Amino acid sequence: MDFLSNSRFLGLVALGCGVYVTREVHMMYFSEKPWDRKQHGYERYPPRGNFPDLRLHNNIMANHLTPDLYESLRHKETLFGFTLDQAIQVGVDNLGVPWQRASGIIAGDSHSYEVFAPLFDAIIEEYHGHKKRNLHPRDMDSHKIDEGQLDSDYVLSIRLHARRSLRGYALPAGCSRSTRRILEDLIYAVLMRLGGEFAGEYKPLAEFSDSKRGSLNLPSHPMSPVITCSGRARDWPESRGVFFNKDCTFFVFVNQDDHLQFRCFDIGGNLQAVFDKLVRGLAAFERELKKSGEEFIWDDHLGYIVSDPIHLGTALEVRVRVKLHHLSTDSRLRWILKAYKLEKKRTGLSKGEMLAGIMYLHNTQTLGVSEVNSIRQLCDAVKRLIELERMLEQGQDIEDALPLPPVPVGKSIRFDTLGS
């Protein structure tokens, strides 16, 4: 009995060893070997195994990213180590809304537009209509805007935002703490050399009082998911600040959405004067920047390189604060603005202002059009909107005065039911 028990035990041991050896041999010669990260980079799973679920998304990235395209790009990195997954994360985390187009992607450096070109080019062409071989024009001559005075009865204020990035540095979504600190020191030195009407003061964000922060619309921490999900809010507010001149009409925001964002604004409708001041401020800053051996990133195809492809080209946002009480409640407004290549925003407005028909209008086309032509287009569009508003004030039908192609006809609806 003992002999049989020992034999049975030894047989089980031999069987177990055989199973183990067979498994190891199968894993060694027939199964997929463990991924060697040093040799092949990070592990690449099958496309659909790591492909994001974009079925409910309303951004442009979701329209063009396919499993095959994702698989062909996800193993690539830029010179600063930025990956496709980092670039699209902002679009994955934010579903978007149908009435406001978002790119759904962010560049971590200027090389992102080259390394991930198949995806970026498709997004750029859909949003801007700018094809891969098209060149971007540049014209900053403010004297060419001869009809830049808008009716101040309807145009309450004007804001111009110009974004810029410095060559050789990662953009905010892909930069390190040390890079952000270096950029702040460099930009601070340049700003302190500005003189004349642009001489002013630089303040880190952490030093702003609550009242001053509110007047500049600066939250203690970014609230927009487009900023937080893209990685541009890391270590906030360290190495970020705002420069403003003595009369507070020229501002420079440092290390926020982009390396630099220049802002000029004025009360009333003199768009030509505000643009002229912005051009002079940019020129003064660029002169001092070149003395430090640095320059803005410019590309003949994409214009000024910035983080979001929506702002490529002129990187100029022209925003006017208008009061269009009758037109704001017209259901056709959305299509009218689309025909004029404008968008409206209500961020920062009180409920009373919104009910009074006050809104912000800004240009949507920045690539493939020069700065001067962009200003002209917006001036013409705003003047046309004011004409429509006057017709509605007099009880006239605006159907025949609407832009072509015809926009959908609908009944007037309540302003607070419209999307922003």
Q: Enumerate the known binding-site residues.
A: 157-161, 221, 317-321, 345-350
Per-residue 3-state assignment (H helix, E strand, C coil) for 204-237: EHHHCCHHHHHHCCCCCCCCCHHHHCCCCCCCCC
Cα-atom radius of gyration of the chain, to the nearest Å? 28
> Measured at the alpha carbon of residue 8, what is the angle toward residues 3 and 10, in degrees to the nearest 5?
95
CA-wise closest residue to 165 among 245, 236, 257, 283: 257
Distance, in Å, from the CA atom of 240 to the CA atom of 261, rounded to the nearest integer, reads 12
| Helix axis angle, 177-191 to 271-291, nearest 10° | 110
* Residue 19, CA distances (Å) to 11, 26, 27, 28, 29 in order: 12, 10, 12, 14, 15
Q: What b/e sequence results for 282-296 when a residue is b if at least 16 CB atoms lie within 10 Å of its CB, and e otherwise?
A: bebbeebbeeeebeb
User: From edge to edge, which strands make up the β-sheet containing 260-267?
Assistant: 200-204, 241-245, 250-254, 260-267, 155-164, 316-323, 358-363, 342-345
Virtual torsion, Cα 211, 213, 217, 218, nearest 10 deg: -150
Distance, in Å, from the CA atom of 361 to the CA atom of 322, rounded to the nearest integer, reads 7
| Residue in the block written with tokens 């110009």 | 162
Q: Are 283 and 310 in contact (CB under 8 A)?
A: no
Host H or E run for residue 282:
helix 271-291
Q: In DSSP terms, which residues pair with 157 in a beta bridge? A: 267, 321
Quote the DSSP letter at residue 408: P
Paired tokens of 182: 């270096």
Handedness of CA 191, 111, 135, 312 (dihedral sign): negative
Distance, in Å, from the CA atom of 252 to the CA atom of 37, rounded to the nearest integer, reads 43
* Residue list, annotated binding site for ATP: 157-161, 221, 317-321, 345-350
